[in-house]
């Protein structure tokens, strides 16, 4: 069990600090402080304007965070470009000098920085670059999963649509029901929470599906339910390749579709408009059927983000999408994932 201080300088907000929020919500480790000088003096829930992070202090810098006796500094946001901002360097250096391990999901590897690597070696601490890919190469060989197991992939309309959190919630709900289940992390935040998984967005494209397949086969041999964290979206102009690798590597038996209520275009690509939700669902189902036409994988429920809406509007959005798609719809944060788990169990009954 780690005692974590999360570095989220200047960006500790619900969407901008997805890694920080995910670790606070789901990690079995204890978050003792969040570093963000722009929200210093608040607790994390006040800064996020929601229910997550009550009682966790937001502090101005690493020196103030050290008062809460962390043993790990975790970088909880992803600056544009994925490099380590120079203005953060002193905070990492100070953390290392105080014997804190470093956990980083940046695209630029902290352990490749000579100054920080030498400091870590001198102080006997570790640097975990979560996105560093395994050296192993494996091409998918289309091996069937164990009969009786159920692999569920989370897909969606965009990045940041709730795929990781819904997978984690479903895994927890399955275990509450006494089912044998596992969560497969495929991104840096999920890996920080689960302490295992694959950084799919850093894998060589020829091997991504194969390495996902290997992990799914291992988990499905040991568990009846496997919830695979999704990445990107098939309709995303930048990140569709990673989504296709997950679809074909995991070969899901069913899918849950994730979406933000009211969103009509890819975030940051305002000209890339969404087709209907039914069409978005269809293209994901079709992509699996290219390889397995005789056993079509279906989307059986929808996870909807409504935290930007009031209660009345949230319920109206859920009802509207239920009417549009004919599928069960819930906001896991507001109402839990029981309707989605019910739909999955009924689908395989």
**What pLDDT, in 10s, does the model give residues 313-344?**
999 999 999 999 999 999 999 999 999 999 99
pLDDT digits (tens, 9 = 90+) for 190-210: 999 999 999 999 999 999 999
**Domain 3-129 shares a fold with domain 150-348:** yes
Domain ranges in the chain are 3-129, 150-348
346, two tokens: 């009924």
> If DSSP codes are grouped into helix, strand and coil, which group holds residue 46?
helix
Q: What is the mean pLDDT of residues 87-98?
A: 97
pLDDT score, position 129: 97
In the chain the beta strands, taken as DSSP E runs, fall at: 3-7, 30-35, 58-59, 72-75, 101-104, 127-129, 150-156, 181-184, 225-228, 254-260, 265-266, 269-273, 298-305, 329-330
Q: What is the mean pLDDT of residues 290-307?
A: 96
pLDDT score, position 83: 86
What pairing do the DSSP bridges indicate for beta strands 269-273 and 298-305? unpaired
Query: Whole-prediction pTM value?
Result: 0.94
Residue 1 pLDDT grade (very low, low, confident, very high; cuts 50, 70, 90): confident
Residue 251 pLDDT grade (very low, low, confident, very high; cuts 50, 70, 90): very high
Q: How far is CA 268 from the centre of its chain?
A: 19
pLDDT score, position 233: 98
pLDDT at 3 over 80: yes
Q: How far is CA 88 from the centre of its chain?
A: 24
- Pick one of 3.90.1170.50, 3.40.50.300, 3.40.50.920, 1.10.10.60 as the CATH number of 150-348: 3.40.50.300
pLDDT at 79 over 80: no
* CA dist., res. 331 & res. 335, Å (int): 6
CATH number, domain 3-129 = 3.40.50.720
């Amino acid at each position: 069990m780690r005692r974590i201080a999360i570095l989220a300088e200047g960006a500790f907000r619900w969407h901008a600090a997805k890694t920080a929020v995910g670790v606070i919500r789901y990690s079995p480790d204890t978050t003792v402080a969040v570093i963000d000088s722009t929200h210093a003096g608040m607790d994390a829930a006040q800064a996020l304007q929601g229910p997550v992070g009550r009682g966790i202090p937001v502090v101005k810098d690493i020196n103030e965070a050290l008062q809460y006796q962390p043993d790990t500094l975790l970088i909880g946001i992803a600056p544009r470009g994925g490099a380590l901002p120079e203005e953060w360097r002193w905070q990492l250096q100070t953390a290392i000098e105080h014997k804190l391990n470093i956990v980083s999901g940046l695209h630029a590897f902290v352990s490749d920085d000579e100054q920080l690597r030498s400091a870590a070696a001198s102080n006997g601490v570790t640097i975990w670059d979560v996105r560093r890919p395994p050296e192993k190469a494996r091409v998918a060989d289309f091996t069937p999963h164990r009969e009786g197991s159920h692999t569920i992939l989370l897909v969606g309309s965009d990045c940041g649509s709730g795929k990781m959190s819904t997978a984690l919630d479903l895994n927890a709900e399955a275990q509450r029901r006494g089912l044998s289940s596992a969560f497969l992390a495929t991104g840096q935040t999920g890996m920080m929470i689960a302490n295992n998984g694959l950084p799919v967005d850093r894998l060589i494209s020829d091997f991504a599906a194969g390495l996902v397949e290997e992990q799914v086969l291992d988990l499905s041999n040991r568990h009846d339910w496997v919830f695979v964290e999704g990445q990107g979206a098939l309709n995303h102009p930048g990140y569709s390749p990673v989504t296709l690798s997950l679809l074909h590597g995991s070969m899901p038996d069913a899918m849950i579709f994730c979406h933000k209520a009211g969103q009509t275009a890819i975030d940051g690509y305002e000209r890339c408009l969404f087709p209907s939700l039914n069409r978005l669902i269809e293209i994901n189902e079709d992509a699996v059927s290219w390889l397995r036409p005789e056993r079509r994988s279906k989307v059986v429920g929808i996870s909807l983000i409504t935290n930007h809406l009031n209660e009345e509007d949230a319920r109206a959005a859920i009802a509207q999408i239920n009417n549009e798609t004919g599928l069960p719809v819930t906001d896991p944060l507001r109402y839990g994932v029981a309707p989605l788990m019910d739909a999955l169990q009924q689908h395989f009954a």
